[in-house]
Structure 1
Amino acid sequence: MAALTDQVVVVTGGGRGLGASICRALSREGAKIAVMDVDGKAARREAAALTDKGADALALETDVGSEAQVKAAIAEVVARFGRLDALVNNAGIDKTCSVEELACDEWERILRTNLSGPFMLAKYAAEQMRAQGNGGQIVNIASTAAKRAWANASAYHASKWGLVGLSQALHVELRPEGIKVTTVIAGGMRTPFLLERFPDLDPGLLQDPDNVADTVRYLLTLPAESVIAEIMVLPMRETSWP
């Protein structure tokens, strides 16, 4: 397996939930972590926690739906660490309501964060990786919402189905340049993303986000000659996927 020591990794939505779990899992392997989150306080808190444990971490308050902020954040990562080796597109939002109730600007906001954000980050991260000339890796966190649908999540479904398509296209385009692209289709996790919005949800039906984070760690440590293009990680009692 490849080592993550001194590898520079950007994790979006890194301030809490699965993103924070990914930051911790990768930092334990020696990676340098750029904790990117629209919530600057959460990003700084997580970066400080990593630093307290001996990691080299940078907090980035960034709206992934803003091209200007994305470009500035990538530039800041390179200025601080000198390079960029991997990107984990984890940031995501949702609004639980019917199509009838969903305002057009809310649709745009969800698609901008969940789909346009990963596109822009992948675009500019790959540009940096290409300039470095020794490959790199992009991991896009999707969802079982990209495989089947349920009511009151139309924008979220559209964004995650789109993210899977984007990942597959990136895999084809970037593979000849030595840049790996993987889609992680994650089942329900015990994170604020679900538990804060659905307080009646049984946590026993969900999985520990650390398990999905460990999958990301595994993907980033595969030998250079291999790539896993898509992987699904489900809780044993998953209800949103057969």
Structure 2
Amino acid sequence: MTTDALRGRVAVVTGASRGIGRAIALMLGSHGVKVAAAARTDADLRAVCDDIAGHGGEATPVCTDMTSEEGVKRLVRTTVERLGKLDIVINNAGIGVFGPIEETATEDWDRVMAVNVRGAFILCREAIPHLRQNDGTTWIINICSVVGVKGYVNQAAYTASKHALLGMTKVLAQEVQKDGIRVHAVCPGGVDTGLVAAARPDLDRSVLMRPEEIAEIVLFLLTRQGNAVVDQINVRRAASQPWW
């Protein structure tokens, strides 16, 4: 499939107001995908949608709290109502709290799980009927993390949430393969975002990957051809030892 084949497709991108989500939304919009951009802050979402429109694309902002089941359901409904269908789901929204386990508050743990795992689960569940009814291939791409592959000190809540998201992604891929829905996990290492800066303030940001590099991986997954199954892509920066 060429990138031209994406024109007219409809995508939901969560966490679209900044970082990796913003880069993915802009990339999709530049290839003719109609984007439902979801995040908590309306002003930031409108800025992303204005950028997409300024380059000839189409996007609609949907202010969404990923901890709210009704909010996530409304995201799917609004996308279909405004843009006509749903072909692509990008679960990118994510938060983290950092520190030793013994200093991690239960409410902080619950909040990370609510956004990173529960919200993604609800979005997948609500999107599947719409993805299934479309002709041709449709996609769910979950932005996991290197911490979903291995653990890191002082990142217990974030690590546990990304392990859970990766596990759910693997199960979901098997459940919906028969319906023509491709499910992928992208597990980035150090990317120059606010989340990584908070988790690893010791890192030299000049050696981190750019959000646009992760967006390019997503584009590859959406346009690749052939019978190979690509269930998980681990992406690390060139200077990492061995991951970060």
Q: Same fold (TM over 0.5)?
A: yes
- Gap change, CA 1:239 and 1:205, over 3 Å in 2: farther
> Which structure 1 residue ranges, 4+ long, deviate > 4 Å from structure 2?
196-200, 224-227
Point out the more displaced range, 122-131 or 111-120. Answer: 122-131
- Gap change, CA 1:18 and 1:172, over 3 Å in 2: same
> What is the deviation of 1:201?
2.4
| Paired residues for 1:1-242 under 5 Å | 1-2=1-2, 3-132=5-134, 134-195=136-197, 198-223=200-225, 225-239=227-241, 241=243
> What is the deviation of 1:223?
3.0
Q: How far apart in 1 are the matches of 2:50 and 2:36?
A: 11
Q: How far apart in 1 are the matches of 2:224 and 2:12?
A: 18
Deviations 1:160-190 (A, max 9, x none): 0011100000000000111000000111111
What's the TM-score once normalised by structure 2's chain length? Answer: 0.94
Gaps of 5+ in 2: none
Contact 2:41 2:63 in 1 (8 A): yes
Say which SS state the counterpart of residue 61 (structure 2) adopts: strand
Contact 1:206 1:238 in 2 (8 A): no
Aligned residues with identical type, % of pairs: 34
Say which SS state the counterpart of residue 160 (structure 1) adopts: helix
> What is the deviation of 1:81?
1.0
Which residue type is aligned with residue 92 of structure 1? G
Contact 2:30 2:52 in 1 (8 A): no
Which residue type is aligned with residue 44 of structure 2? A
Say which SS state the counterpart of residue 223 (structure 1) adopts: coil
> What is the deviation of 1:126?
0.8
Which residue type is aligned with residue 138 of structure 1? I
- Gap change, CA 1:84 and 1:64, over 3 Å in 2: same
> What is the deviation of 1:105?
1.0
Q: Please give the root-mean-square deviation of Cα atoms over the aligned residues, in Å.
A: 1.7
Q: How far apart in 1 are the matches of 2:197 and 2:146?
A: 17
Contact 2:90 2:141 in 1 (8 A): yes
Q: How far apart in 2 are the matches of 1:204 and 1:77?
A: 37
> What is the deviation of 1:222?
2.0
Gaps of 5+ in 1: none
Point out the more displaced range, 157-166 or 192-201. Answer: 192-201
Q: How many positions carry a matched residue from both structures? A: 242
Deviations 1:18-72 (A, max 9, x none): 1111111111111111111122221111111111111100111101221101111
Deviations 1:131-185 (A, max 9, x none): 3354410000011101111211111010000111000000000001110000001
What's the TM-score once normalised by structure 1's chain length? Answer: 0.94
Q: How far apart in 2 are the matches of 1:20 and 1:208?
A: 12
Contact 1:136 1:180 in 2 (8 A): yes
Contact 2:237 2:243 in 1 (8 A): no
- Gap change, CA 1:166 and 1:49, over 3 Å in 2: same
- Gap change, CA 1:239 and 1:39, over 3 Å in 2: farther
